[in-house]
Chains A and B, each alone.
Chain A
Amino acid sequence: MFKNPEELKYTKTHEWVKEEDGLWVVGLTDYAQDALGDIVFVNLPEVGDEVKAGEVFSDVESVKAVSDVYSPVSGVVAEVNEAIVDDPSLVNGDCYGAWMIKVKDVSGTDDLLDAKAYEEVCAQEA
């Protein structure tokens, strides 16, 4: 089964988010990285870009597919994780360590799920 840490919040579109030192950290879930297979490229926004809850802020490429990544929160990109651009395999290896963006000035969030509710979403899709 997929790992879904209790302390995180999730979206139906398979992103995780957590609040940390005033910033909202966003990444892809274990289910998402497994469904995508080997990730070969991550396309990230720039620092200062606005993101909106429920809207696409990034896409990730596997060898034969590309998938949109949706922002769980509305706000402004404060940091992007350049390490996963240089080595996208980090997302496959440790998706909860390999965050994608950190968002500041958060003005709202999408409907966020707890780990248990998200597990049900995954179970339905599998």
Chain B
Amino acid sequence: MKLLFEESKKGRGNAFLPAADTGSYVPDEKYLRKSALHLPEMAEVDIDRHYTQLAKQTHGVNDGFYPLGSCTMKYNPRIDEETASLPGFTQIHPLQPLSSVQGCMEVLYRSEKLLCEITGMDAMMFAPAAGAHGEYTGLLLIRKYHQERKDFERVNIIVPDSAHGTNPASAVMAGFKVVNIPSNDKGGVDLDALRNAVGKDTAGLMLTNPNTLGLFDPNILEITKIVHEAGGLCYYDGANLNAIMGRVRPGDMGFDCVHLNLHKTFATPHGGGGPGSGPVGCKAFLQRYLPCHKVEKKEEGYVFTDPEMSMGQVRSYYGNFLVVVKALTYILTLGKEGIREASGKAVLNANYMMHRLKEKYEVAYDQTCMHEFVLSLEGLKKQTGVSAMDIAKGSLDFGIHPPTMYFPLIVHEALMFEPTETESKEVIDEAVKIYLDLYDKALSDPEYLHSAPHHCPIGRPDETKAAREPVLKYEFND
């Protein structure tokens, strides 16, 4: 496919703007840009076709099954796009007078109340723009808490070895040191390792539950108790909330603060890598440290306040507001029963798919899973040489987005499936058949899978070349 710049023809263009009618003011020569500005010169029709071609080379949830573990690639309802496109939301300047933005503030306020109820928290804010950003903000709550108590020794954040990579990275950004602890043989937190790890230097624990193996940790109350007794706080990574919403709440499991991924659990589209929204929630005793611009409801209407000991700001204004509109639309549509049903069906679909795949594949931890499960292809690889990557690439030829590969790190040759609740039994059955056939193919013709995919716009790209000789932009000749 040609790049925009390769389709450009000097002299082509569009007429979107009239000439200015306010005079012929021009900046002084000495301020002016001297270098040429190479932007594409294209007619509208060619731009349209260019992106239609690019769309055809992109697989979204609407193109087919997308069981990418840990990413909750559920269907993105169209109505959510509609409401977020209302001019009454899109055409609002963030610095308008309060009286003219009461609707926007109502969106933030009501979303806060609903999500607090769903998570068991007392306050929620939408400033963080993505999950990792939410983690960072939540960890700053913990940092501020210990600082205000002059507990400066508490510099360690405990992270299990099965955690998302963002957890340790966020902890360091928030000024903490990371202490990794191993998982037990059931895939949960090793309680003895946790007891040994906590102490006067413990600032907190970061945990995903269900964890990245898709397993709910039955010791969760004991875990949070151990951390609290040591003087630390418990942070809930909400990446996997889709499994449990409406059934068990982070707040009731003993967590003090959380972040959510609205672009996972609450069905807002991921846009090929964002915009997401990663609201941060907390119990009442942490509220005073939340970011600035918190919405409060007063008699005269909604107002913004800055919490007493606010951490400051982590993003401009109030976060990815239009994404919040989509999530609110979704929650209002589902309601209390819909939320509960969504989690239940997500868990059912995962267990069903796991059960069917067990016919041939080895499950890393063979027990009832939550919304996702992890296969280990270590045995298959030893036997045939076919790796998790090969199976994943093989599934591309059947229009399936592969599961998450090689994660979590504690499972060798891992494939992590998350079918979500919005896929039907027929879709899952069809996918199961494809994966079982791929297993047979691994036994009969491993070479075929080593070189898969065979029917995609490109074959496997040379990533070593990309990293060793980086070409990161188009080079213009003149």
Contacts and interface: CB of A to CB of B under 8 A. Distances in A.
Interface in A75-113: 87-89
Contacts of B467: 40-41, 61, 63
Contacts of A40: 464, 467-468
Contacts of A89: 468
Contacts of A114: none
Interface residues of B, number: 5
A28 B406 CA distance: 25
Nearest to A88: B468
Contacts, number: 15
Interface secondary structure of B, over-half rule: helix
Interface in B128-168: none
A38 interface: yes
Interface in B451-465: 463-464
Nearest to B406: A64
A40 B469 CA distance: 9
Contacts of A38: 464, 468
Contacts of B468: 38, 40, 87-89
A89 B465 CA distance: 10
B286 to A, nearest CB: 34
A24 B444 CA distance: 52
Q: Is the interface of A mostly helix, strand, loop or mixed?
A: loop
Nearest to A37: B464
B267 to A, nearest CB: 30
A38 B463 CA distance: 10
B358 to A, nearest CB: 28
A61 B468 CA distance: 10
A88 B468 CA distance: 8
Contacts of A63: 463-464, 467
A88 B464 CA distance: 11
Contacts of A64: 406, 463
Nearest to B466: A63
Interface in A4-24: none
A40 B466 CA distance: 9
Contacts of B406: 64
Interface in B358-384: none
A64 B464 CA distance: 10
A89 B406 CA distance: 25
A90 B203 CA distance: 44
A25 B419 CA distance: 52
Contacts of A61: 467
Interface string A31-75: 000000010110000000000000000000101100000000000
A61 B467 CA distance: 10
15 contacts: A38-B464, A38-B468, A40-B464, A40-B467, A40-B468, A41-B467, A61-B467, A63-B463, A63-B464, A63-B467, A64-B406, A64-B463, A87-B468, A88-B468, A89-B468
Nearest 10 A-B pairs (CB), nearest first?
A: A40-B467, A38-B464, A63-B463, A40-B468, A63-B467, A63-B464, A40-B464, A89-B468, A88-B468, A41-B467
Interface of A: 38, 40-41, 61, 63-64, 87-89
Interface of B: 406, 463-464, 467-468
Given A40-B464, A61-B467, 13 more contacts: A38-B464, A38-B468, A40-B467, A40-B468, A41-B467, A63-B463, A63-B464, A63-B467, A64-B406, A64-B463, A87-B468, A88-B468, A89-B468
